[in-house]
Amino acid sequence: MTDTIAVSTAARRHPLLWPLLATLMIIGWSSGFVGIRYANQQTSVMLLLFWRTLISGLILLPFALTIGPRISLRAIRDQALFGVMAVFIYLGGFALAIEQRVPTGLVALIADLLPLAIVALSQPVLGETLSAKQWLGTLIAVIGVLIVSFDSLAVGTAPLWAYGLTVVSMLVFAVASVLHRKRRATSMPVHQGLCIHSLTGSVLFGICAWTQGTLAPPMTREFLIGMMWLVLIATFLAYAVYYTSLRLFPVAKVSAAIYLSPPVTMLWAWMLFSEPLTVAMFVGLGVTLVGVWMTSRN
């Protein structure tokens, strides 16, 4: 309890800490599209996710074993459960839905409504209540996301269960986020937890990829660039900053920053792949910024 109070006090003493963490998290969260765009040219999504999580876990393993408290079997079990929820079900569920021809725009929209689900769970589970202005900010942020995503929305012809899978994947990650926040005082250091999450995901993704064919990666320049991007930015930066922020700030405040992922993703696409920018994107970005600012205020 003393450590938790000290961390919260430190966060209040540094007013620029949250803007810095939020910026890094948005960059990492939105950059997953870039890595997948590079790496998914010649391989299945499950094979891509297998190598992403395996490389991430192996890089973190020596640090997890030598830096921090000794890892007990009980801690491994608990963190492996978070890995199943926050890595395998969340990433794998959306990937499988896309492979089943659920339109990418619809998948992205459901994924970007994650903060709304987290806010809904944070009050009964954590007792973190939002003010009327924060609820209004949440509504405004959702409207901004809808504006950004509107042009890419389509219904598609995928099986009904695939649409439900996207919703379930999003809700499972919301539950994992709330539980992670609830247990922040007794949880292990971020690098140890992320290592276990990644290795757990690699085992499950490896089984899925193996049933589809081979585990051998395509040794192409695009795959290597995409994998480096996914490991360093979309995994290490995004997840590490996200879990760190959950220990320092209310979960609704942390998750609200994710609303900015859609417009920032479109900026990535414009800068790296010359995809066009639209007026709706800028309007949605402005609306979302207002909503996130209102929701994040103390």
Percent of the chain at pLDDT > 70 equals: 85
Q: What is the mean pLDDT of the chain?
A: 81
When pLDDT is averaged across residues 208-213 and rounded to a whole number, the result is: 87
CA distance 177 to 125: 11
Distance (Å, rounded) from C-alpha 61 to C-alpha 173?
A: 24
In a domain? residue 81: yes
Confidence band of 126 (pLDDT split at 50, 70, 90): low
| Mean pLDDT calculated for residue range 78-98 | 87
Lowest mean pLDDT among 26-40, 176-190, 214-228: 176-190
Examine residue 196 and state whether it is found in any structural domain, yes or no.
yes
Kindly state the average pLDDT of the residues 21-50: 82
In a domain, 9, yes or no: no
Q: Which of 79, 114, 109 is nearest to 194 (CA)?
A: 79
3 within some domain = no
Domain count of the chain? 1
- 40 domain-assigned: yes
Within a domain: 6:
no
Q: Which of 199, 153, 190, 166 is nearest to 50 (CA)?
A: 199
> What's the rounded mean pLDDT across residues 214-222?
84
| 245 in a structural domain | yes
Note the pLDDT of residue 42: 67
Q: Which domain holds residue 49?
A: 16-296
Higher pLDDT pick, 19 / 103? 19
Neighbours of 21 (CB within 10 A): 19
Residue 1 lies in a domain: no
